[in-house]
Amino acid sequence: MLDLDYTKTHDAMSKLLGFEFIPATFTPETTKFLNEYEIGKINTETFIWNLQRLAKKEVPIGQDVIKAWNAMLLGWQPAKFDFLLSLRNKYKTYLLSNTNELHLTWVLNDLKKHHNIVDFDTTYFNKTYYSHLIGMRKPDSQIFEFVTQDAGLDPAETLFIDDLEVNTLAAKVTGWNVYQHDPKDDLIQVFTEKLKLM
């Protein structure tokens, strides 16, 4: 639902740290602490410190790291809020997100500041599952099994939408129906024309 552009964070972090900061070039150590942050195993302070020590130039201050890390978060199309409500009126809706403390803090602040929304989780979803709060992340099979049990889902009647193939494939193994969404496509149009759920 949130508009994202991963390349903006890759570009901002590359400029800040003085080397190419893209997943394809991450060392195993970097991948490890990034994943640990996404499952809440390390706190924000430790995460920022890990990024600072990678710097190939003058060590950036924490606020600069936070700004670069959040650069990928673009904001919301207001029409999607009404769409989510109409969807929830017809179906049980859940949010399953790989995220982290910094990103979620930005999201909640942006929703309140620009859209006057202070109860996003409970208004638009039956329940939300954030990776850093439940200690699991996509595409690990355990997260799909956990949500299935916790939400009392019938896999055969569950549709999972994600923009990454690795995540949809993992969900499919759990028995969920899946749709890999291209972020360039309009999600509301996808629901109405391709999935015919509205």
Helix (H, G, I), strand (E, B), or coil: what is residue 96? strand
Q: What tokens were used for 100? A: 């982290």
On the question of a common fold for 3-73 and 77-194, the answer reads: no
Q: What is the CATH number of domain 77-194?
A: 3.40.50.1000
Q: What tokens were used for 15? A: 């400029």
Looking at residue 3, its pLDDT comes to 87
- The full set of domain ranges for the chain reads 3-73, 77-194
pLDDT less than 70: residues of the chain: 198
- Beta strand pairing status for 3-4 and 73-75? antiparallel
Looking at residue 198, its pLDDT comes to 53
| Cα-based distances in Å from 198 to 87, 135, 169, 188 | 7, 33, 25, 9
List pLDDT tens digits, range 26-57: 999 999 999 999 999 999 999 999 999 999 98
Q: What DSSP string runs through 103-138? A: HHHHHHHHHHHHH--S-HHHHH-SEEEEHHHHT--T
Looking at residue 12, its pLDDT comes to 97
Cα distance between residue 20 and residue 48, in whole Å: 17
Give the homologous superfamily in CATH for domain 3-73: Putative phosphatase; domain 2 (1.10.150.240)
Cα distance between residue 33 and residue 21, in whole Å: 14
Q: N- to C-terminal Cα distance for the chain?
A: 16
Looking at residue 59, its pLDDT comes to 86
Cα distance between residue 150 and residue 121, in whole Å: 16
Looking at residue 153, its pLDDT comes to 97
Please give the model's pTM, rounded to 2 decimal places: 0.92
| Residue written as token pair 């302070």 | 45
Looking at residue 190, its pLDDT comes to 83
Residues 152 and 177 sit within 8 Å (Cβ to Cβ): no
Cα distance between residue 192 and residue 18, in whole Å: 45
